[in-house]
Amino acid sequence: MTRIALLAGDGIGPEVTEQARRVLTVVRPDLEFVEALVGGAAYRVSGHPLPPETLDIARNSAAILFGAVGDFSLDTLPRELRPEQAILGLRRELDLFANLRPAIVWPALADASSLKPEIVAGLDILIIRELTGDIYFGQPKGIAINAAGLREGHDTMRYDEAQIARVAHVAFQAAEKRSKRVTSVDKANVLETMQLWRDVVIEVSRDYPGIALDHMYVDNAAMQLVKNPKAFDVILTGNMFGDILSDQASMLTGSIGMLPSASLNADSLGLYEPIHGSAPDIAGQDAANPLATILSAAMLLRHSLADEAGAVRIESAVEAALASGARTRDLGGKMGCTAMGDAVLAAL
């Protein structure tokens, strides 16, 4: 049996991971799922959002399937105890630096986007987001009384050249298998960290003479993403800009409920999760779209288990379910989360 850590988390996390587990079980009966508490669900039981047992289970599995964490009623806890620290802790402890967030417009969903169908039809872009550095993890950070006696908050944007180079290599290697173009998104016109980002990306690009590299400031990239998204292929960017641009890109595909992700380290241990959060506004109503998580399960097979055929089987089943008219509410339909899972299983 191949062991998969199943960390469902909070809100809609358990609902969407359950549908992905059902799909994986059909495609790969040899998988053994080991469940562990994470996020607010773990805090309520053990007083910590990422208990040591959960981290151990994650470390000792072939891959991790993750739902979402986040619980507004725990937002007043000290930061280190908040649910979000669980996913940040997993990324840091497992050194999951390369975050792949593909944004694909499935043929049946070209008219589900808030943009005109001709702008988005056929879109297939890959956002590669650095996931263990930047202003998320840079020290120092905090809230303190400044010299004027005022409360002052500070976070530190930081990257060293090794952190930039390793994720740049991932982007160029991904581009080699696609249309051989990388757009690096930064803010080098203002930020020193981002000047280093641009310099290092250019240095790494010399190892990939067949790949065309261009650079774009993040504000322009946000605009171009809605003006002419098909001009992009691989987008390489830092942790914070990648977070924002990927939620934006999800709307090109019809819904945030469509975007999967893979978070990989140098040993190819991977964590797979939808890019969305715990969606407290729809949790417990069987209303969430499970496709982002089901597509994350396909990425799990592809990147952690070298099972390309299994991944394609799941992706084809999602495509067929959508073609048959299956739509959750976020896609303008009426189906619940379980019914969408059923539709994918039927297509399998």
The residues that are catalytic are 136, 187, 219, 243, 247
Q: How far apart are CA 259 and CA 253, in angstroms?
A: 8
Q: What is the DSSP string of 146-169?
A: -TTS-EEEE------HHHHHHHHH
Instruction: Give the 3-state secondary structure of residue 98.
Output: strand
Minimum distance of ligand NAD from residue 299's CB (angstroms) = 15
Of 243 and 315, nearer to Mn ion (C-beta) is: 243
Of 260 and 290, nearer to ligand IPM (C-beta) is: 260
Residue 37 DSSP one-character state:
-
One of 134, 186, 243, 330 touching ligand IPM (CB under 6 A): 243
Residue 28 DSSP one-character state:
-
Binding partner of 282, given Mn ion, ligand NAD, ligand IPM, none, CB within 5-8 angstroms per partner class: ligand NAD
Q: Is beta strand 98-104 parallel, antiparallel or unpaired with respect to 124-130? A: antiparallel
Number of residues that bind Mn ion (CB under 5 A): 1
Binding mask 12-31 for ligand NAD (x = CB under 6 A): x---x---------------
By CB under 6 A, residue 71 contacts ligand IPM? no
Minimum distance of ligand NAD from residue 68's CB (angstroms) = 4
Q: How far apart are CA 292 and CA 1, in angstroms?
A: 25
* Alpha helix stretches (DSSP H) within 261-305: 291-304
By CB under 5 A, residue 84 contacts Mn ion? no
Binding partner of 88, given ligand IPM, Mn ion, ligand NAD, none, CB within 5-8 angstroms per partner class: ligand IPM
Of 243 and 307, nearer to ligand IPM (C-beta) is: 243
Does the N-terminal peptide bond of residue 280 adopt cis geometry, omega within 30 degrees of 0? no
Minimum distance of ligand IPM from residue 171's CB (angstroms) = 18
By CB under 6 A, residue 64 contacts ligand NAD? no
One of 5, 65, 86, 275 touching ligand IPM (CB under 6 A): 275
First to last CA, the chain: 22
3-state helix, strand, coil in the chain (%, to 5): 45, 20, 35
One of 10, 84, 134, 243 touching Mn ion (CB under 5 A): 243
Instruction: Give the 3-state secondary structure of residue 104.
Output: strand
Binding mask 170-199 for ligand NAD (x = CB under 6 A): ------------------------------
Binding partner of 108, given ligand IPM, Mn ion, ligand NAD, none, CB within 5-8 angstroms per partner class: none
Q: At what angle do helices 52-59 and 84-93 cross, to 10 degrees?
A: 40
Say which amino acid occupies 276: H
Q: What is the DSSP string of 122-141?
A: T-EEEEEEE-S-GGGT-S--
Binding mask 73-92 for ligand IPM (x = CB under 6 A): -----------x--xx----
Minimum distance of ligand IPM from residue 254's CB (angstroms) = 18
* Alpha helix stretches (DSSP H) within 251-307: 291-304
Positions in the binding site for ligand IPM (CB under 6 A):
84, 87-88, 243, 275, 277
